[in-house]
Amino acid sequence: MNSNGMTPYQAPEAAGSSDLTANEVPSEQPKVFGIIHIVYSVLGGLKALAFLGVYFAMGALMGQMKEGLKEEGIDFEVFKQIWDIMGRWMLIEGVVCLVLGIILFIAGIGLLKRKMWGRNLSIVWAASRIVLLIASLVVMLPHQNELQELSQQMNGQEVSGMGGMQQSMGNLPSIIMVLAYPVVTLIFMFGSTMKNALRKG
């Protein structure tokens, strides 16, 4: 206000700009990812419990299955070799999925509350999921041919060395699906929109 009691002229553009900055609505990205995180973590937890359930159930029923498999003409010892490989994988996968599901669930709550630690925990989850998927592929790929040959042997089929390669190629779509959400999560968590929304929250 000047000495005459008049308010100095202010350009409309400047006034509008200051109001827009003060009243800017934070992005809904944290809320969206928070909800998806929680849903994804619950589904992952159910998958983990299913794997662990199958693992312990098979361990308890293995002795009872021996006679039934023999009656069907299936070599029990070969079947047991297959299960030894698959069972170890199911146990590890089940435990890992359960732990990662808990981490993702907590991260989702953090994002819903617009907490920066929710973003940080999301990055930890996504990076861990990608690393663990690669590690599981490295560990399991050498066993693909063995599993395929044992399966063919168990069913009385001619053993073919190409089965493992075909199985690996068949798993490619599921691998891409597993990688998709962690990669998308990393892209958005490192984006400026997410960081700004959490700071304003």
CA distance 107 to 198: 13
State percent of the chain over pLDDT 90.
38
Q: Is the pLDDT of residue 29 over 90?
A: yes
CA distance 130 to 188: 16
Give residue 21's pLDDT band: very low, low, confident or very high (50, 70, 90). Answer: very low
Mean pLDDT of 133-154: 71
pLDDT at 112: 96
Q: If you count them, how many residues does the chain have?
A: 201
Overall pTM surpassing 0.75 (yes/no): no
User: Which range among 87-91, 105-109, 155-159 has the greatest average pLDDT?
Assistant: 105-109
pLDDT at 89: 81
Continuous H helices in the chain? 12-22, 29-71, 76-112, 116-154, 163-170, 172-189, 192-200
Give the chain's mean pLDDT.
78
Q: Which of 159, 168, 185 lies closest to 32, judged by CA?
A: 185
pLDDT at 17: 42
> Where along the chain do its domains lie?
28-200
